[in-house]
Amino acid sequence: MNDMELALRRSPLFCDLSSGVLSEILSEASSEYFSPGDYLFTIGGIPDRLFVLVDGSVKMVAGAHNKNETVIELLQPADSFLIAAVMTNKPYLMSAQAIGTVHVLTIPAQALRQHVVSEPQLALTLIASLANQCRQMVRDVKDLRLRTSFQRLGVYLLEQADKASGRATIVLPHVKKLIASRLNMTPENLSRAIHSLQEYGVEVVEDEVRLHDIAALRRFCKVETILGELDDEFVVLTER
């Protein structure tokens, strides 16, 4: 049971809760494992519980199963998925598929919704979490609409570097095919994009990426910031 508590403590959703409430939630939660390729849930289904990723990687996908399938989001440990679906009790807008072996905690939706009304702290973190997810989606929309695929790759690499506390050498967290889909491009195009970014000091060997000129890469990724049009990622990337 202790590892479950540790898992929740690592999740931004639950880390700020008093240990009383946390243990109550823990008592309702259960642990579950999935094999590579398994679907945790599928599009159209009604969410009856909240998933918190403890270990492994999960991809959120939409579109026809094999052909048009497209990766909307790649999740990492401590992420919870689709809180929006759980809280509104409306059908999932995407499916969740295990990439490797996956370990999750699940919390019954009913219980969660009850705790929200009685526990203001939980409501607050839930709001914060939803707001952040919302903003992430807005960023995705902007990326899709006003950047080229090559630029999207650029910001992806910059984000990864950022996560790795600004180090200029990063290792790709997934196979290239997945990353390509996440960035809304084909593997072929990703391959070409990588080559093209050499021009901005990006060096890729296998799954290891070195960014030799972060400033140049950033410049390339911006959609010509002509005016005082201060972009958001700019803030994110520089405030660190």
Binding window for a second copy (CB under 8 A); candidates: 27-35, 82-90, 101-109, 203-211: 82-90
Binding window for a second copy (CB under 8 A); candidates: 3-11, 80-88, 165-173, 190-198: 80-88
Helix (H, G, I), strand (E, B) or coil at 3: helix
Residue type present at position 113: R
Residue type present at position 126: L
- State in angstroms the smallest separation of the CB of 158 from a second copy: 17
Contact 92, 86 (CB under 8 A): no
Write the DSSP assignment of 123-185 as a string of letters.
HHHHHHHHHHHHHHHHHHHHHHHHS-HHHHHHHHHHHHHHHTTT-SEEE-SS-HHHHHHHTTS
Binding window for a second copy (CB under 8 A); candidates: 11-19, 25-33, 119-127, 210-218: 119-127
Of 3, 16, 38, 207, the residue at the interface with DNA (CB under 7 A) is 207
User: Is residue 217 involved in binding DNA (CB under 7 A)?
Assistant: no
Residue type present at position 41: F
- Give the count of beta carbons closer than 10 Å to the beta carbon of residue 150: 21
Binding mask 154-183 for DNA (x = CB under 7 A): ---------------------xxx------
Residue type present at position 160: Q
Q: What are phi and psi of 37, to 5 degrees?
A: 95, -20
Of 195, 198, 208, 236, the residue at the interface with DNA (CB under 7 A) is 195
User: Is residue 220 involved in binding DNA (CB under 7 A)?
Assistant: no
Contact 188, 227 (CB under 8 A): no
Distance CA 42, CA 94 (A): 6
Nearer to a second copy, 141 or 215 (CB): 141
**Residue 37 interacts with which of DNA, a second copy, none, CB < 5 to 8 Å by class:** none
Q: Which of residues 127-156 bind a second copy (CB under 8 A)?
A: 127-128, 130-135, 137-142, 144-146
Of 148, 160, 184, 196, the residue at the interface with a second copy (CB under 8 A) is 184
Q: Which of residues 3-32 bind a second copy (CB under 8 A)?
A: none
CB hemisphere CA count around 120 (13 angstroms):
0
Two structure tokens written together for 233 = 């990622």
User: Is residue 70 involved in binding DNA (CB under 7 A)?
Assistant: no
Residue ranges in contact with a second copy by CB under 8 A: 43-44, 62-65, 67-68, 70, 72, 83-85, 87-88, 90-91, 93-94, 116-118, 120, 123-124, 126-128, 130-135, 137-142, 144-146, 184, 223-232, 235
